[in-house]
Structure 1
Amino acid sequence: GPYGQTEWSWLTNTTGWTFNDGLYDTKYNYDDPRFIASIQWVADQMAAGYIMPQEQVSSLGGGAAFESGLGALHANGSWMIGELSSQSSAPVGFARLPQGPEGRKSMFNGLADSIWVGTEHPDEAWQWVKYLASQECADVVGEAGVVFPAQQSAVDKALAAYAAKGLDVSAFTDQALEEGGTFLFPVTDHASEVTAIMDPVMQSIMLGQTDAQTAL
């Protein structure tokens, strides 16, 4: 896809490249030589057999392929810690991302608790959303070791919960705390149109049907 959250953005953005120049910018930098070279490198690794071919990833999904033992390394987000550690056919460990010219970079993405404008239960929905934003809820999530909540004290609880399962997941929190270590998922107007344009382009590059310089 056009954002490569877990697929390639953690590589492209280590070069100093950025998707755009800030929130609601009107231009994407897909024609930047740094991006083109990075994407071509990924495609070349697929063609050489060092990265699972796009055909297999598309049909199985990277997570499922890793869990079944078809891959030795898999890049994914912290929300997948539980599944990867419990469903994989071999013991799993978590490591820091590779370092590029501009250090290590990870796309930062969160969730928003929203209420549908057409709900028949606005008061009840509001009570639920308020709870979701509370320290109490964050502590419940942290103690369960599901994902990392937004509050630091709950993050500490999550780290303790993972540690109790024998999992050292500090690679994720160290990255989040590193200065300049994260960048935002692009926020722009016409995102669906960008996706419609870029999806087939990126697919054709990864499948080896065209090269990045020509396509981008």
Structure 2
Amino acid sequence: MSTAPTFVRVGELACQRNPFLRGLRARVVLCEPVSMNKPAGGSGKGGHNSTNTNPSYNVVLTDSVLFPEGGGQPCDHGTIVYGNEEVPVRNVQRRGDTCVISTPCPLEVGEEVEVRVDWPRRFDHMQHHSAQHLLSAVVEKASQCRLPTVSWSLTHPYSFIVLPTGNKIDSDVVAHLEKVCNDAIARAVPVRCDMYPSKEAYEQALREKVEKGRFRGKFSAVAQHSIRCHWTHPHHHGGG
């Protein structure tokens, strides 16, 4: 009796374990046509609520080097090499803890494919996302503005964060914040990405690190100023 192939869940995807991985081989676990009268992507922030007029298929692979949209960051783009075809991927969504890739053509379940990420786009997102964490951490410090980041968005040509203040921040304060951030970039302050088996394990580890002062002078992709992040980041704030 054959068993259905398993797949890696969001939180442990190959692109999360190694953000610098540019491609991998995987097998097709699921391929379903998207109804023509319902959205092909997600709903809500950054989702696609307009009716899909072109053929589209929701594909689940055993693992993915393409990360789904989430946390204010757009999804990865890339290519799935299927036989002699190169299938473009422009929409990757998270459904629960499943990474769902939209393709313009069906892929046969059980077939092995090669998945390649659009690296320039990914690396640009990684740098901008890490920069957001750095800026948010600096702005929230008691020695700076004490302003928590309400929301943020990675958009083009500019990314931005939203702060809960009704007043314009003085130019000298902005210059000081810029200097603090640039100092961290020049020192290539490391970005650490830790994996936890559960939310409870993460919260316990965070409490222990705070008690021991282990966050002092460092920034973490997982817990910068106690905020979790599951996206992809460079190894340090110097961008590499």
Q: TM-score with structure 2 length normalisation?
A: 0.24
Identify the structure with the greater helix proportion: 1
